[in-house]
């Protein structure tokens, strides 16, 4: 009986983890993301990562602009 309850609990946890019925949330303030097209969190300003887009935050340094 105990093993059955543990197995059911494990299945429920796995389903809730991968089904994500609660939607996407901000990793910083945990506010639910309402508009998938808007790239910023309305509460804290967190920038969501967009799959398929290149991250331009860290561009390689040009040799011409490098200062020694």
- What is the tens place of the pLDDT at every residue in 10-61? 999 988 877 766 778 888 898 888 887 888 898 998 888 776 666 666 666 6
Reported pTM: 0.44
Residue environment code for 30-51, b if the CB has 16+ CB neighbours within 10 A, otherwise e: eeeeeeeeeeebeeeebeeeee
Residue reference for tokens 């945990």? 30
State yes or no: pLDDT of 68 exceeds 60: no
Q: Give the model's pLDDT for residue 3.
A: 95
Nearest to 28 by CA among 45, 10, 13, 14: 45
């Amino acid at each position: 009986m105990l093993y059955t309850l543990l197995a059911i609990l494990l299945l429920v946890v796995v389903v809730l983890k991968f089904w994500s019925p609660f939607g996407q949330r901000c990793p910083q303030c945990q506010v639910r993301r309402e508009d998938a097209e808007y790239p910023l969190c309305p509460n804290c300003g967190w920038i969501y990562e967009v799959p398929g887009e290149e991250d331009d935050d860290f561009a390689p340094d040009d040799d011409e602009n490098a200062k020694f």
